[in-house]
Amino acid sequence: MTYVTKPRLHHPTLAKNRLGFTRRDYEGNVSTLCAGCGHDSISAALIQAFWELSIEPHRVAKLSGIGCSSKTPDYFLGNSHGFNTVHGRMPSVLTGANLANRDLIYLGVSGDGDSASIGLGQFGHVMRRGVNMTYILENNGVYGLTKGQFSATADKGSKAKRGQVNTEAPVDTVSLALIMGATFVARSFSGDKHQLVPLVKAAIAHEGAAFIDVISPCVAFNNHPGSTKSYDYVREHNEAVNRLDFWPSREAITVEYKDGQVIEVAQHDGSIIKLRKTHPDYDPGDRTRALTYIQQHQALGEVVTGLLYLHPEAEDLHAHLNTCEVAFNRLGEKELCPGAGMLEKINAALR
């Protein structure tokens, strides 16, 4: 099996963004996933978000683990460098990459097996460190690539395709991300691009650890009755806390208010997130409340989606480590080597 590169014939009527790029410029190779896979919808949302934000594709680094979900970075942003690492360990590689060059935008793509089972440790620690990234977890409750075993996010009592019932408690990645210190936490659904695209855009603009758990049905192994990650199940049980609009700071936007209450949250980079609340009592600035809210609705069998928590003044790992402004990978011997004279002094102190 080899990958097919999409022909890049530009249709003259395709819309262009601020950089003059069409959506096509944000695409990658043709997906090899099953037709109807939720992961492909997420890729489409990512393409839309990067295009709308007018980000130069080559200024993005895409990192992933192993799984169907982790294969997807090959299917968008074809002009970006990608790194399909090892199973469950994308967070550490992303952390190192981010340290080496703080000037790029880092996108981490993972699956629920990748993040909640084998990689649970790295998932937690990358949040703690506050690595500036957008971490997308394409959550289908199964191991797609290894053909349908339960993952650690499968709900207790949910049924696998061949009928086995899951008896183990699920890992709630959203609550975990909150506890571990992520400064932007959201949940969405692959089939809801109106919710997902603005969330991705806001996550990209967030200068800290941004996490989005995207429920993403696997048509091969969980889109059947009994699965709690199927399209139908999620549509029926979706409980949206807010609708989100996002404007990058460079664009002056006049806002049209629709129904419902709107709150504005200014991000570190000056951009503004507007939350159109469907639930007037939901405040995404309150981490403790967010946790309780998620748990309460979980108990009712509801999947809470939307922006669950945002720390607008988040600091990232570079700030914690007080690193220099120039990307490490641009520093040479002049900046890094203390020189022979200093070594003589060091020698002298060791006699």
Partner 1 sequence: MKRIESLNDFVIKFANVNGSGSASANELFAKSFLRMGIPVSPRNIFPSNIQGLPTWYEVRVDEKGWLGRRGGVDLMVAMNPQTWDADVKEIDPGGYLFYDDTKALPPSKFRDDIHVIGMPLTEICNATYTDSRERQLFKNIIYVGALAGMLGIEPEVIAELIGEQYKGKEKLLKPNLNAFKMGLDHARMHLKEACGLKVKRAYAVGEKIFIEGNAAAALGCVYGGATVCAWYPITPSSSLAEAFQRYCSRLRVDKETGKNKFAIIQGEDELASVGIAIGAGWNGARAFTATSGPGISLMTEFIGLAYFAEIPLTIIDVQRGGPSTGMPTRTQQADVLACAYASHGDTKHVLLFPEDPNECFEFAAQALDLADRLQTPVFLMTDLDIGMNQRLTAPLKWDDSRKYDRGKVMSAEELEAGKEFGRYLDVDGDGIPYRTLPGTHPSKGAYFTRGTTKNAYATYSEAGSDYVTNVQRLLKKFETAKTLVPKPVLTPAKVPARFGCIYYGSTSPAMSEALEALAGQGIFINALRVRSFPFQDELFDFVASHTKVFVVEQNRDAQLKTLLVNDAGINPASLISVLHYDGTPITARFITKEIAEIVAALNVRPIKKDKAA
Ligand X SMILES: Cc1ncc(C[n+]2csc(CCOP(=O)(O)OP(=O)(O)O)c2C)c(N)n1
Positions that interact with partner 1 (CB under 8 A) = 1-3, 56-59, 61, 63, 73-74, 78-86, 89, 91-101, 103-104, 121-122, 124-125, 129, 317-318, 321-325, 328-329, 331-333, 335-340, 342-344, 346-347, 350-351
Residue 148 CB, shortest distance to ligand SF4, in Å, is 8
DSSP state letter for 316:
-
For 18-32, letters b (16+ CB in 10 Å) and e give eeebbbbbbbbeebe
Residue 186 CB, shortest distance to partner 1, in Å, is 24
3 state SS of 210: strand
Does 88 bind Mg ion (CB under 5 A)? Our answer is no
Task: Please classify residue 320 by burial: count the beta carbons closer than 10 Å to its beta carbon, then call 0-12 exposed, 13-18 middle and 19+ buried.
Answer: exposed
For 290-307, letters b (16+ CB in 10 Å) and e give bbebbeeebeeeebbbbb
Give the interface segment with ligand X, choosing from 62-70, 205-213, 271-279, 316-324 (CB under 6 A): 62-70
Which residue minimizes CB distance to Mg ion? 111
Residue whose CB is less far from Mg ion, 162 or 258: 162
- Please give the residues from 61 up to 80 whose contact with ligand SF4 meets the rule CB under 6 A: 68
CA distances from 286 to 79, 183, 298 (A): 38, 11, 18
Q: Are the CB atoms for 324 and 336 separated by under 8 Å?
A: no
| 242: partner contacted, choices Mg ion, ligand SF4, partner 1, none (Cβ within 5-8 A by kind) | none
| 112: partner contacted, choices ligand SF4, Mg ion, partner 1, none (Cβ within 5-8 A by kind) | Mg ion
Residue whose CB is less far from ligand SF4, 37 or 200: 37
Structural element, H or E, at residue 109: strand 105-111
Binds ligand SF4 by CB under 6 A, chosen from 26, 27, 28, 37: 37
Residue 94 CB, shortest distance to ligand X, in Å, is 16
Residue whose CB is less far from Mg ion, 84 or 267: 84
Task: Please classify residue 125 by burial: count the beta carbons closer than 10 Å to its beta carbon, then call 0-12 exposed, 13-18 middle and 19+ buried.
Answer: middle
Rounded CA-CA distance 45/62 in Å is 15
Structure tokens at 163: 């009928």
Does 155 bind Mg ion (CB under 5 A)? Our answer is no
Rounded CA-CA distance 315/105 in Å is 16
Per-residue binding letters, 151-180, with ligand X (x by CB under 6 A): x-----------------------------
Residue 191 CB, shortest distance to ligand X, in Å, is 16
Phi, psi values for residue 46, rounded to 5°: -65, -45
Binds ligand SF4 by CB under 6 A, chosen from 25, 26, 27, 39: 39
Binds ligand X by CB under 6 A, chosen from 143, 184, 246, 309: 143
Residue 72 CB, shortest distance to Mg ion, in Å, is 12
Binds ligand SF4 by CB under 6 A, chosen from 49, 55, 160, 218: 218
Residue whose CB is less far from ligand SF4, 144 or 198: 144
For 130-163, letters b (16+ CB in 10 Å) and e give bbbbbbbbbbbbbbbbeebebbbbbbeebbbbee
Cβ within 8 Å of residue 152, ≥6 positions away: 112, 113, 116, 117, 120, 168, 170, 171
Rounded CA-CA distance 149/161 in Å is 9
Residue whose CB is less far from ligand SF4, 75 or 247: 75
Residue whose CB is less far from ligand SF4, 144 or 170: 144
Structure tokens at 152: 């650690």
Does 207 bind ligand X (CB under 6 A)? Our answer is no
Which parts of this chain interact with ligand SF4 (CB under 6 A)? 33-34, 37, 39, 68, 140, 144-145, 218-221
Binding footprint of ligand X on the chain (CB under 6 A): 66-69, 87, 111-114, 138, 140, 142-146, 151
